[in-house]
Structure 1
Amino acid sequence: MYKLVKPLFFTMDPETAHHQVTSGLRKFRNVWGMKSLLNSIYTVDDERLEREVFGLKFKNPIGLAAGFDKNAEYIAEMSNLGFGFIEIGTVTPKPQPGNDKPRMFRLVGDSGLINRMGFNNQGADVAAGRLKKLKNRGNLIIGGNIGKNKATPNADAVNDYIYCFNVLFDYVDYFVVNVSSPNTPGLRDLQEKEPLKGILNKLQELNHTKYIQKPILLKIAPDLTKSQLDDIIEIVLETQIAGVIATNTTISRDGLTSEPSVVTEAGGVSGKPLTARSTQVIKYLHVKSGAAFPIIGVGGIHSAEDAIDKIQAGASLVQVYTGFIYEGPALVGDICKGILALES
């Protein structure tokens, strides 16, 4: 069905299409019987898909990456499409509009996207309020991806992460520290060794004052050198955070074949152009660390084979976003079936 409507959505601006799809899914889901229909079409239930990672039990290893549901508005809707977990955000302490539109562009010839959204979101308090009201969550795992406001100087960034951590703590199962988006000026500077250790250590100190501890993960860029990846391994082990998400979008334009007018747009590239590089980063971290921590693999997953490649490279879980847009909601079930076939 998605293949029939996809050409229509691809005539729209990507951000407009996103809102049309999510609002349409909500209306469809609210019709009597449609929740069960969606579940029957897209959900693959099998105990062999269950995974226990950083102390949490996932009903399957396929997640929706951050960026799709920035404000925790569509968790109920997306849960009917077979996901084992959903990551909201990136959330910042204060609401912010993000960068000027247009800020998302399709690389149709490359099955990718360029985005420079700029952490547009309604703020941590709004997201927490929606999560608090969420009903019938069942066994769905929810992650909170947190960042800093654009106006916050890097020297004060830790306070933004602390604020989001406190506000969301009671409503998410794990946290992701996002210092790797290319669309907030200076943000990637926080991936350097000392500022990153400072943020993670502060969050871990805060985490250990809570009644229970929540897993904290770090989302990294695909553009890091081997030396920088070695630093990431050292930091993860030293701060004892739960794991890494590899990777965010890339600033590289290598090998792109889409229209030059689109390729030259500022922002991070996602989708198939990122497939190989994100898998390389996963494998490097997994091998070099001696499998010392879990990795969530994300970047260019457009098929079951792409997801399995990342799992075989060392990912414990995977996430989709751009592949979900290009391939449609059947992608989640296809990956689950591919994993089951591999394990048979």
Structure 2
Amino acid sequence: MGFVYKLLFRTVFAPMSAERAHHIGFGAIKAFDRVPVAREAVGRALRPRPEESAEVLGLRFPNRFGLAAGFDKNADGVRGLARLGFGYIEVGTITGRAQPGNPAPRMFRFTRDRALVNRMGFNNVGADAAAVRLADQRRLLERIPAPVRPVVGVNIGKTKDVAGLEATIADYRHSTGLLAPLADYLVLNVSSPNTPGLRDLQAVESLRPLIQAVQETAAQAVPHPRNALGHVPLLVKIAPDLADADVVAVTELALELGVDGVVASNTTISREGLRTDAERVGAAGPGGLSGPPLAGRACDMVRLIRRTAGPGLTVIAAGGIETAADARARLAAGADLLQGYTGFIYHGPFWPRRIAAAAYPG
């Protein structure tokens, strides 16, 4: 089946724009989910095995491999994605207010590197509409047996035209209040390169009050969460372009404030080590690079966070996980959970099952 998808990718998807291909592919997943016989057959074929389950963040994950934020930005295709064997699905990034994102074209493939560059700019329907959609999806998920029902994370970010720390905190509070009741865990995204000023929030002096505000709002919104921790788990997603000293500083802050984990990492603004022709790289312009070129730095970050935090934080490894060897390397570096996105684009709907099997350490 992998060969069939590669042929489809090369002949159908590759000639069209990356964003259009994404809409068509995701649309097909959602359409497939509306055909009961088909979705049940695929669900049975790709469902996680019982021995792959893991207890992390006070939650039972059917397996350790999940879909990273960015694929289902508006939380409207979770059940369809759940049938493909992911142990968890992270929706978003969702902002306080709806926004169109940056002008197109804004997503590009570097096929020689099996990489993507995007400057989407958090295009999404906003927290109010996303909450309605996610509530609908959660009702649909209830029809999936609990042992194989994926965990659902929600990734929240800053609305582009919000300026100043006080207004930014209010923006995140709005999203948290609406989405925390629907989330198994929350991710505070302060690391996308495509929203002006967002990465400045990784500085400890800005990140501290932001984390505290989100924790307070989530506790008020969800007094009785569905997990063993007693609160909605909160993680912070950081950039691979941070210096090691800054990674350590964020990790230590997370420990101090009782944050539950770190996602390492987001996309990178670096273009080092690419095999793609320099002219093509330049023509794509700015944006975050994802895929295998990111793997080395992302793995190093996992190792650094684990060395700094010990067992005190959950580490979700993202960035360049494409093969079974990549999955095993992140687990060996100290990751508790794994995420992918770009590999899903290049390798198709049967790829998550292969990586999830590789992530089972038994």
Which TM-score bucket, shorter chain as reference? over 0.9
Q: Deviations over 1:51-73 (max 9, x none)?
A: 11111111111111000000011
Report the secondary structure of 2:181's partner residue. coil
User: What residue in structure 1 maps to residue 134 of structure 2?
Assistant: 131
User: What residue in structure 2 maps to residue 243 of structure 1?
Assistant: 261
**Aligned residues, how many?**
341
1:89-168 correspondence to structure 2 within 5 Å: 89-134=92-137, 135-138=139-142, 139-155=149-165, 156-168=167-179
My pick for the range that moved more, 76-85 or 1-10, is 1-10
Asked if 1 retains the 8 angstrom alpha-carbon contact of 2:86 and 2:356, the reply is no
What TM-score, normalized to structure 1? Answer: 0.96
Q: 2: distance between equivalents of 1:227 and 1:32?
A: 51
| Deviation at residue 195 of structure 1 after TM alignment | 0.3
User: What residue in structure 2 maps to residue 316 of structure 1?
Assistant: 336
What TM-score, normalized to structure 2? Answer: 0.91
| Deviation at residue 225 of structure 1 after TM alignment | 0.8
Report the secondary structure of 1:145's partner residue. strand
| Deviation at residue 32 of structure 1 after TM alignment | 4.3
Q: 2: distance between equivalents of 1:159 and 1:261?
A: 42
User: What residue in structure 1 maps to residue 327 of structure 2?
Assistant: 307
User: What residue in structure 1 maps to residue 49 of structure 2?
Assistant: 46
Aligned residues: percent identity? 42
Counterpart check, 1:234 vs 2:252: yes
Counterpart check, 1:219 vs 2:267: no
Q: 2: distance between equivalents of 1:35 and 1:207?
A: 34
Asked if 1 retains the 8 angstrom alpha-carbon contact of 2:43 and 2:83, the reply is yes
Q: Deviations over 1:158-215 (max 9, x none)?
A: 1111100001122111100001000001110110010001100112223333413201
AA of the residue aligned to 1:13: S
Q: Deviations over 1:320-344 (max 9, x none)?
A: 100111111222111222234x52x
User: What residue in structure 1 maps to residue 31 of structure 2?
Assistant: 27
Report the secondary structure of 2:182's partner residue. coil
Ranges of 4+ aligned residues in structure 1 off by more than 4 Å: none
Counterpart check, 1:64 vs 2:67: yes
User: What residue in structure 2 maps to residue 285 of structure 1?
Assistant: 305
Asked if 2 retains the 8 angstrom alpha-carbon contact of 1:73 and 1:130, the reply is yes
Asked if 2 retains the 8 angstrom alpha-carbon contact of 1:91 and 1:164, the reply is yes
My pick for the range that moved more, 46-55 or 191-200, is 46-55
User: Where do 5+ consecutive residues of structure 1 fail to align?
Assistant: none
User: Where do 5+ consecutive residues of structure 2 fail to align?
Assistant: 143-148, 225-230
Asked if 2 retains the 8 angstrom alpha-carbon contact of 1:250 and 1:269, the reply is yes
Q: 1: distance between equivalents of 2:357 and 2:162?
A: 44
AA of the residue aligned to 2:205: E
Asked if 2 retains the 8 angstrom alpha-carbon contact of 1:65 and 1:87, the reply is yes
Report the secondary structure of 1:308's partner residue. helix
Asked if 2 retains the 8 angstrom alpha-carbon contact of 1:154 and 1:190, the reply is no
Asked if 1 retains the 8 angstrom alpha-carbon contact of 2:193 and 2:288, the reply is yes
| Deviation at residue 288 of structure 1 after TM alignment | 2.1
| Alpha-carbon spacing, 1:187–1:339, altered in 2? closer, same or farther (3 Å) | closer
Q: 1: distance between equivalents of 2:112 and 2:353?
A: 25
AA of the residue aligned to 2:26: T
Asked if 2 retains the 8 angstrom alpha-carbon contact of 1:90 and 1:146, the reply is yes
Q: Deviations over 1:306-331 (max 9, x none)?
A: 11111111110001100111111222
Q: Please tell me the root mean square deviation across aligned C-alpha atoms, in Å.
A: 1.3
User: What residue in structure 1 maps to residue 271 of structure 2?
Assistant: 253
My pick for the range that moved more, 191-200 or 24-33, is 24-33
| Alpha-carbon spacing, 1:205–1:32, altered in 2? closer, same or farther (3 Å) | closer
